[in-house]
A = this chain, B = another copy of it.
Amino acid sequence: MSGVTHVSSPPETTGRGTVTMRALSLLGAFDERHRRLTLTEMAARASLPVPTAHRLVGDLVAWGALTRDPEGRYVVGRRLWDLGLLSPVQRGLRDVASPYLHDLYGTTRATVHLAVRDRGHALYLDRLAGHSSVPAVSSVGARLPLHATGVGKVLLAHAPEQVRVEVMASLQRLTAYTITQPARLRAQLDQVERNGYAVTYEEMTLGACSVAVPVRRRGEVVAAIGIVLPRLEATIQRHVAALEVTARGIGRGLDG
């Protein structure tokens, strides 16, 4: 470790693109809405001629980045799943937090979330949902808006001003209760910072409220945890207490 300068950011010659980039763009053809693709579809989504895609995909399959499902469609392979788990995308955080979250789930029996901020979104790192939990849109790996979720508000309240400005610029309405006025949101964020917790009332999904608190490491907010409930009533304080215990546990775990 020494001469760490920087990888020359891609000049993007707008030409053909390197072979590597082309191969990667084929992987990029997969997303939440496209988990199974035919060769032709992949080629189209990656803007590559079919024979070229065919060659590259051959390599990807040989290595295990892709596999074919029973119908012959291509799907993301096991090897990428393995690699993904290796990613330090907050891996330390997930590993440390996991037992605490399960304990919390055991206590509350509510859907539990662990999220970090990824640019202008809340990135869900873990999610525990029992069977009887409130149905929710979240899932591990999902990116949800910062302004309409419990963990999102916490993360936003502790984000740099620049991020807040960007997010405020387009507050998408998701339900009748979504906060779409920048001023109101800003007021809430101030409260979140003061109170140390955030709440939402059906702002993301009807029938789902949430409470969330920050996870701090050496004082700095590194993540947020929250629970989702059908309604909050007067139970907020109790939940906040449980969440805070958990958050402190995780914070300590991160240092150890």
CA distance A131 to B100 in the complex (A): 6
Enumerate chain B residues within 8 angstroms of A68, measured Cβ to Cβ: 4, 7
Does any Cβ of B come within 8 Å of A195's Cβ? Answer: no
Enumerate chain B residues within 8 angstroms of A25, measured Cβ to Cβ: 63
Choose among B23, B60, B84, B130 the residue that contacts A80 (Cβ–Cβ < 8 A): B84
CB–CB B24/A63 < 8 A: yes
CB–CB B98/A87 < 8 A: no
CB–CB A99/B30 < 8 A: no
CB–CB B62/A10 < 8 A: yes
Give the contact stretch, choosing among A14-22, A147-155, A212-220: A14-22
Q: Can you tell how many copies of this chain the complex includes?
A: 2
Candidate in A76, A129, A249 with the most chain B CB atoms within 10 angstroms: A76
Enumerate chain B residues within 8 angstroms of A128, measured Cβ to Cβ: 98, 102, 128
- From residue A105, how far is it (CB to closest CB) to chain B in Å? 6
CA distance A8 to B61 in the complex (A): 10
- A59 and B98 contact, Cβ closer than 8 Å, known pairs A73-B1, A80-B80: no
Q: Which residues 154-206 of A have a CB within 8 angstroms of B?
A: none
Of all chain B residues, the one with the shortest Cβ separation from A85 is B141
Choose among B31, B106, B131 the residue that contacts A86 (Cβ–Cβ < 8 A): B31
- From residue A124, how far is it (CB to closest CB) to chain B in Å? 10
Enumerate chain B residues within 8 angstroms of A18, measured Cβ to Cβ: 19, 55, 59
CA distance A73 to B83 in the complex (A): 16
Does any Cβ of B come within 8 Å of A9's Cβ? Answer: yes
Enumerate chain B residues within 8 angstroms of A1, measured Cβ to Cβ: 38, 71-73
Enumerate chain B residues within 8 angstroms of A239, measured Cβ to Cβ: none
Does any Cβ of B come within 8 Å of A256's Cβ? Answer: no
CB–CB B99/A75 < 8 A: no
CB–CB B57/A7 < 8 A: yes
Enumerate chain B residues within 8 angstroms of A99, measured Cβ to Cβ: 129-131, 133
CB–CB A88/B102 < 8 A: no
Choose among B20, B28, B55, B141 the residue that contacts A56 (Cβ–Cβ < 8 A): B20
Q: Which residues 48-97 of A have a CB within 8 angstroms of B?
A: 55-63, 65, 68-69, 71-73, 75-78, 80-89, 91, 95
CA distance A232 to B131 in the complex (A): 27
- From residue A208, how far is it (CB to closest CB) to chain B in Å? 16
CA distance A132 to B62 in the complex (A): 42
